[in-house]
């Protein structure tokens, strides 16, 4: 039986070196708790000797109720010509009070001699002295061999000597780092096997087993592949970041690595229950970093199990394995069927069943709906990214749509003078049953003013809309050859505490297109709330 693989997360340190990523100390505490909750074994909190934010994090982290994870402080070997106990960075590692310390040292002779302007022998002493000092202070020590694969390629004997220095000093784990991200899987495989032989020899002579780890970057798009290759060659600790965030092209994506190890290689690393939390942790870290989640992200992305082609959908309705490599629920994701001009009746039937729509009502079958949808897509609609509008559209086709409000009229006025930016004012008249409501509101622009006015009017009848928020608004010109008279497509994404939905509008007039998308969004929300209420009464 293969040994379990330990997961080492460095989102809070290496991940923050990515462009446009900046976590506060409090953000890092929240992420650390989530990482612990899913079963990560090691959480690297930062470099306490490098900045006040990381020092504050370790102060806050002293009281963290971690259930499984071991918190790790990161730093470097001692400086040349300095004793470890006199090095402020090394001292800061001990003052962080973490049970584990990870230090990196130079493995590539190019860095030692040309960048550090150091000697090869002094570099070995720096590694040995620092590891010994940390071990004397009762720390678990993980040694990161920086630039190992580049160093091993240029000067393999010296690269191995640096590892021996860490081993002789008592390191608990040796981690091979592809710091530049330029290595290929077969390079990683051969070097990892060579180091594994070294560790086996060391274990036989000393009686102490030292774990072998891997840390890769994604500059060739191979970080996950290189990590998996190293595990196959003997590594039993993997380092990475959630969503692959990190410097330049990023680090190895720990989410994908966990899924591959668990579901493709049958290597123990997370429980089945924690595996289902992968999508949530991916989204949580994205939102905390204020970055839009990548729809195409493997395993956990919104599009990872999305099907558009009619033949594909017909097949997965019979046997999902035909076009899905795993059950999406295993990683907390779900199957999505998209509606577009490529759709067949299988797409519509699957989607209608998912949304609880009876297609047999009023004599409108799925083929007829497909035909109408394709006509609308020709006009510029795009229903594969507008589930909310698709639901309303099918309900209209089958005469099941029951609007909870009707527009009687609206007026939007835009004002601009030389000293102030544009402002907008909207007046709207709606009818709910036999009652009418006239409301006015201001906004930052015409759509904002309309949204505010409609909310204000509907709030008199449906206070539940307070939980609904518009989170995205996009305008696309469908064909720019008509200039300012061109038809535009407007997408609106809305959310409440339970879900996110998208709606669409198309027109030569941007206000009209926006109104279509806006009202669809409110109709979707109100119909959802009405159904929930009715089901609650029935039960």
Domain 406-538 - what CATH class? alpha beta
Q: How far apart, in whole angstroms, are the C-alpha atoms of residue 341 and residue 525?
A: 26
Q: How far apart, in whole angstroms, are the C-alpha atoms of residue 3 and residue 213?
A: 13
Q: Which residues contact 130 (CB under 8 A, 6 or more apart)?
A: 77, 78, 84, 90, 103, 105, 169
Find where tokens 């096997």 sit: 193
Structure tokens at 460: 């008199």
- How many Å is the maximal CA-CA distance in the chain? 89
Q: How far apart, in whole angstroms, are the C-alpha atoms of residue 393 and residue 388?
A: 9
Of 50-59, 122-131, 273-282, 301-310, which range is least confident?
Answer: 301-310
Res 210 pLDDT > 90:
yes
Structure tokens at 187: 């390079």
Same fold, 6-270 and 406-538: no
Confidence (pLDDT) at 331: 96
Res 8 pLDDT > 90:
yes
Name the more confident of 80 and 359: 80
Structure tokens at 325: 């490599």
Structure tokens at 165: 């220095």
Name the more confident of 484 and 38: 38
Q: Report which of 8, 6, 21 is spatially closest to residue 290, judged by C-alpha positions.
A: 21
Residues 177-195: what's their mean pLDDT?
A: 97
Of 5-19, 225-239, 386-400, which range is least confident?
Answer: 386-400
Residues 204-210: what's their mean pLDDT?
A: 87
Q: Which residue stretches of 215-294 are H helix?
A: 223-232, 254-263, 272-275, 278-288
Q: How far apart, in whole angstroms, are the C-alpha atoms of residue 204 and residue 215?
A: 25
Report residue 17's pLDDT band, with 50, 70 and 90 as the boundaries: very high
Q: Which tens digits make up the pLDDT trace of 317-371?
A: 788 888 889 999 999 998 877 665 555 666 777 766 776 777 765 546 677 777 7
Structure tokens at 86: 């006199």
Confidence (pLDDT) at 530: 84
> What mean pLDDT, rounded, does the chain reach?
89
Find where tokens 């109104």 sit: 515
Q: Report which of 277, 340, 278, 330 is spatially closest to residue 308, judged by C-alpha positions.
A: 340
Q: Which tens digits make up the pLDDT trace of 251-262?
A: 999 999 999 999
Report residue 301's pLDDT band, with 50, 70 and 90 as the boundaries: very high
Q: Which residues contact 115 (CB under 8 A, 6 or more apart)?
A: none
Q: Report which of 378, 380, 386 is spatially closest to residue 510, judged by C-alpha positions.
A: 380
Q: Taking the mean position of all CA atoms in its chain, how far away is CA 133? A: 38
Helix or strand holding residue 537 (H, E): helix 510-538
Report residue 18's pLDDT band, with 50, 70 and 90 as the boundaries: very high
Domains of the chain, by residue range, sit at 6-270, 306-393, 406-538
CB burial of residue 28 (10 Å; 0-12, 13-18, 19+): buried
pTM, two decimal places: 0.74
SS3 letters across 162-195: HHHHHHHCCCCEEEEEECCCCCCHHHHHHHHHHH
Helix or strand holding residue 352 (H, E): helix 345-355
Fold of 6-270: TIM Barrel (3.20.20)
Specify the long-range contacts of residues 52-55, CB closer than 8 Å, at least 24 apart: 53/24, 53/25, 54/13, 54/25, 55/92, 55/96
Specify the long-range contacts of residues 411-417, CB closer than 8 Å, at least 24 apart: 412/446, 412/449, 412/450, 412/511, 414/445, 414/446
Q: How far apart, in whole angstroms, are the C-alpha atoms of residue 145 and residue 151?
A: 10
Report residue 164's pLDDT band, with 50, 70 and 90 as the boundaries: very high
């Amino acid at each position: 039986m293969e040994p379990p693989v330990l997961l080492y997360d460095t989102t809070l340190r290496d991940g923050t070196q990515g462009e446009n990523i900046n976590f506060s100390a409090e953000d890092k505490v929240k992420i650390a708790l989530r990482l612990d909750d899913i079963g990560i074994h090691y959480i690297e909190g930062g470099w306490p000797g490098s900045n006040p934010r990381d020092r504050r994090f370790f102060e806050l982290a002293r009281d963290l109720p971690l259930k499984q994870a071991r918190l790790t402080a990161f730093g470097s070997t001692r400086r040349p010509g300095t004793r470890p106990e006199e090095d402020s960075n090394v001292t800061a590692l001990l003052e962080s009070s973490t049970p584990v310390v990870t230090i990196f040292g130079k493995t590539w002779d190019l860095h030692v001699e040309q960048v550090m302007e150091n000697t090869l022998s002094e570099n070995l002493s720096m590694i040995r002295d620092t590891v010994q000092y940390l071990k004397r202070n009762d720390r678990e020590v993980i040694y990161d061999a920086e630039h190992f694969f580049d160093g091993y390629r240029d000067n393999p004997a010296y690269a191995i000597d640096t590892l021996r220095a860490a081993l002789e000093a008592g390191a608990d784990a040796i981690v091979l780092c592809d710091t530049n991200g330029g290595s290929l899987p077969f390079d990683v495989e051969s070097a990892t096997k060579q180091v594994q032989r070294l560790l086996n020899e060391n274990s036989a002579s000393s009686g102490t087993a030292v774990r072998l780890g891997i840390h890769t970057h994604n500059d060739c798009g191979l970080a996950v592949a290189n990590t998996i290759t190293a595990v196959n060659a003997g590594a039993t600790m993997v380092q990475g970041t959630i969503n692959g965030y990190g410097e330049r092209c990023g680090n190895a994506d720990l989410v994908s690595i966990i899924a591959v190890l668990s579901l493709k290689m049958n290597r123990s690393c997370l429980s089945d229950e924690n595996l289902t939390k992968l999508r949530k942790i991916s989204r949580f870290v994205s939102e905390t970093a204020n970055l839009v989640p990548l729809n195409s992200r493997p395993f956990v992305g919104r599009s990872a199990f999305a099907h558009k082609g009619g033949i594909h959908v017909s097949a997965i309705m019979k046997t999902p394995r035909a076009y899905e490599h795993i059950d999406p629920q295993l990683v907390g994701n779900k199957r999505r069927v998209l509606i577009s001009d490529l759709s067949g009746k299988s797409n519509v039937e699957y989607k209608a069943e998912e949304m609880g729509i009876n297609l047999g009502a009023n004599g409108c079958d799925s083929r007829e709906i497909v035909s109408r949808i394709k006509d609308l897509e020709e006009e510029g609609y795009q229903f594969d990214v507008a589930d909310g509008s698709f639901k309303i559209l099918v309900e209209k086709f089958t005469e099941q749509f029951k609007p909870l409000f009707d527009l009687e009229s609206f007026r939007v006025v835009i004002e601009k003078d030389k000293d102030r930016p544009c402002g907008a004012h909207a007046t709207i008249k709606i009818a709910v049953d036999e009652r009418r409501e006239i409301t006015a509101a201001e906004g930052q622009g015409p759509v904002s003013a309309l949204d505010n006015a409609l909310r204000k009017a509907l709030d008199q009848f449906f206070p539940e809309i307070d939980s609904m928020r518009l989170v995205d608004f996009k305008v696309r010109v469908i064909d720019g050859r008509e200039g300012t008279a061109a038809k535009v497509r407007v997408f609106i994404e809305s959310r409440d505490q339970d879900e996110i939905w998208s709606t669409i509008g198309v027109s030569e007039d941007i206000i009209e297109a926006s109104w279509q998308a806006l009202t669809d969004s409110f109709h979707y929300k109100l119909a959802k709330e009405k159904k929930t209420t009715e089901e609650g009464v029935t039960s």
